[in-house]
A and B are shown apart, each in its own frame.
Chain A
């Protein structure tokens, strides 16, 4: 049991670490954690048919994030080989105006208009906005509680439950 709850907590933290990743190479292994067929992914009440589609959208269209786990609980449903996990957390976004690749929306200034040189090349530092509240429900194979995360996620329901007014992000 202790091992199980440790594994559940560890599992959730690792999912969030993946989501916070800016490098698509590093995010890719998360696809393997989702059940290849019949997996339900719901993010802010929008459904994704496949894990790959969701992760690609996440990678391409969501700025860098930082997740914090604040609460985890789970129930193993006897006789089904599966468990339900309920997670609460906080998430904040990089509000520096750059996407995960470090691209911003600035239009290059015309020559001679007092333009500044382009931003220094290299890894930009994120400018974290305020935290949003987060509620996540997972349905996983019981194997996940033994530390085997391969293809275990059969449902993933990710919902933002509160939002700060001073964030630049529209959700």
Chain B
């Protein structure tokens, strides 16, 4: 009897528990002109649905109804008039009245732990197979309703993309009862460079379902789709090849010849940051370019010593906007300072203009220099953002240096070409007159290509020709290559360094410009052990020398300083200044 009583009591408790578990949280809006109690009574009278445990939160009355069905029928009463307002009902979630509902932070911790449980760092593999039967996930109710199910995977992907130490090349999504990719489509955003993917033992039956991944996963090498209805389709193989252009293996069958595929999708000439015909040319062209740009940024008139009455300079604007998929490309560039100066022969038809825009001799060149915005190049601070080629030019008994990179515009030009036109009619008839305002004159970052023809001269060099192309900013194509270990892209480097002098090569001995900062002039330049030097690129060497001259540190310490500061001159110098009192005496020369 006692037992029975207890049992029935238990049954009652269990029943009550079941009722509580089925409860659905609802919210009501638009009840402002009455009390909460009035609202609940009204709803109960009108709809015959009781809202329990109600409370007020903001402009909402929140409460619980007994089942999903009740909640849904409540929605049918949307717009019913109460105290002069239309009511609006909404379902806020299942079960939410119980303590069992996991808080957001809880869920994040849970999913994170789950991700690490399923991640294999050796194989670089994330195993997301058979999620439905994972005890951790089901115990926490992440599969209890369709809505949580569909949210769980994207949430997991979002978390995974923040976990930098999780390097994933392979993902297993087998046995997930997938009919399409709706739930897992975010995989392509999280792992765009995925190499291997397993979707075996799912229910995918239509090509259309896979279409969301078209042009995604461009590095996907192997795909497993066994035991999906789609594999029996006659076009299965060709469709998979179309969807994944670099797929090599499909369901363990070879699809494409990998070496042929690699040949098709790559240039045989791999991009490199530097090309120097001879190693001497490397060092001297870097010296020339860094000295030149230093003065270009600070005092352009001083550069006039490099030009002769025969020298030519012109600016050319390439206003074509790079594709938006080019990293950091400027999609809305402005060239208003430059356009009246541009000698882009594909854009100018007037003979007279072509003549006018070629500056010949120091005076014209100086004026054109002053008409260009003031600039700041970052050759020392960000050497990786510049690429350089230098080779000989036998006809002038000299050489050509071409530099690709970027600069910041730091100020308006001394002479504004838009205002000082030789046109006698003033600005009245010019097309720039219309709508020409300050907003088009904003200063931005620009990319450029600049080519100098350099001719040796007794006592120095002269610039015979100087051509500058300015274009919208875009990250250099060589950048990503440099992010990888640099071993393969080393330009030839001088084996030994000449102290006291700029490197001796026929031609460029030393620039005759007064005040031109001359490398090594303040003392011996750095003597690095050859095995260290051979590992450095010319830009790094130049940085070391500059650092050495600023700090008077010896070779070993200069190298340490540069290395610790990630080969950034400013960071290195700052680090030196901060810790100069703690550096031992023997670190200095």
- Which residues of A are at the interface with B, using a C-beta cutoff of 8 A? 1-2, 5, 8-9, 38, 40, 42-47, 57, 61-63, 68-75, 77-78, 80-82, 84, 86, 88, 90, 95, 97-99, 103-107, 109-110, 113-116, 130-133, 135, 137, 139, 154-155, 157, 159-171
Contact = CB atoms under 8 A, between A and B. Distances in A.
B186 interface: no
A135 B326 contact: no
Given A43-B269, A57-B268, A62-B267, A114 B477 contact: no
B467 A84 contact: yes
Contact of B271 (A57, A75, A86, A171): A171
B374 interface: no
B326 A169 contact: no
B237 A84 contact: no
A89 to B, nearest CB: 8
Nearest to B315: A73
A171 B345 contact: no
20 contacts: A45-B274, A61-B268, A68-B320, A70-B318, A70-B320, A73-B314, A75-B312, A82-B395, A84-B453, A84-B465, A86-B467, A99-B263, A106-B255, A116-B238, A137-B451, A161-B404, A165-B326, A169-B267, A170-B265, A171-B266
Given A68-B320, A162-B322, A166-B325, 13 more contacts: A1-B354, A1-B355, A72-B346, A75-B312, A75-B358, A86-B451, A97-B261, A114-B232, A114-B237, A162-B475, A163-B477, A171-B270, A171-B271
A159 B326 CA distance: 16
Interface stretch (B72-80, B81-89, B386-394, B437-445): B386-394
Nearest to A47: B275
Contacts of B271: 44-45, 159-160, 171
Given A42-B391, A71-B317, A107 B396 contact: no
Given A1-B355, A109-B237, A160 B477 contact: yes
Contacts of B585: none
Nearest to A40: B391
A104 B264 contact: yes
Contacts of B404: 135, 159, 161
A105 B318 CA distance: 37
A80 B326 contact: no
Nearest to A116: B238
Contact of B241 (A44, A68, A106, A164): A106
B322 A88 contact: no
Contact of B389 (A68, A88, A139, A159): A159
Nearest to B328: A162
B469 interface: yes
A45 B254 CA distance: 35
Given A80-B396, A166-B325, A135 B469 contact: yes
Interface in B433-490: 447, 449, 451, 453, 464-465, 467, 469, 471, 474-477
A78 B476 CA distance: 33
Given A71-B318, A73-B314, A97-B264, A80 B395 contact: yes
A9 B329 CA distance: 27
B291 interface: no
What's the interface size class on B, roughly?
A: 35 or more
Q: What 7 A-B pairs are tightest by C-beta distance, nearest first? A: A45-B272, A45-B275, A71-B318, A162-B474, A105-B261, A105-B260, A164-B325
B4 interface: no
Contacts of A8: 345
B357 to A, nearest CB: 9
A137 B312 CA distance: 16
B549 interface: no
B257 interface: yes
Nearest to B349: A2
Contacts of A115: 237
A42 B453 contact: no
Given A70-B318, A84-B467, A99-B263, A165 B351 contact: no
Nearest to B465: A75
B182 interface: no
B245 A97 contact: yes
A63 B312 CA distance: 38
A74 B469 CA distance: 11
B451 A84 contact: yes
B476 A162 contact: yes
A13 to B, nearest CB: 9
Which of A9, A99, A139 has the most CB atoms of chain B within a 10 A radius of its CB? A139
A80 to B, nearest CB: 4
A42 B392 CA distance: 12
B343 interface: yes
Interface in B238-290: 238, 241, 245-246, 253-258, 260-261, 263-275, 277
A72 B245 contact: no
B55 interface: no
Interface string B315-354: 0111110110111010000000000000111110001001
Contacts of A95: 245, 265
Contacts of A166: 215, 325
B393 A63 contact: no
Nearest to A109: B237
Contacts of A167: 325
A84 B402 CA distance: 12
Contacts of A103: 260
B344 A72 contact: yes
A97 B471 CA distance: 31
Contacts of B347: 71
Nearest to B348: A5
A113 B267 contact: no
B402 A135 contact: yes
B400 interface: yes
Contact of A71 (B236, B344, B358, B391): B344
A38 B393 CA distance: 11
B34 to A, nearest CB: 58
Contacts of B354: 1-2, 5
Given A114-B236, A116-B237, A139-B395, A77 B447 contact: no
Given A114-B234, A131-B323, A155-B391, A170 B241 contact: no
A161 B275 contact: no
B233 interface: yes
B310 interface: yes
Contact of A159 (B343, B387, B392, B395): B387
B265 A45 contact: no
B218 interface: yes
B345 A5 contact: yes
Contacts of B393: 82, 139, 155
B235 interface: yes
Given A38-B394, A131-B323, A105 B264 contact: yes
Contacts of A90: 320
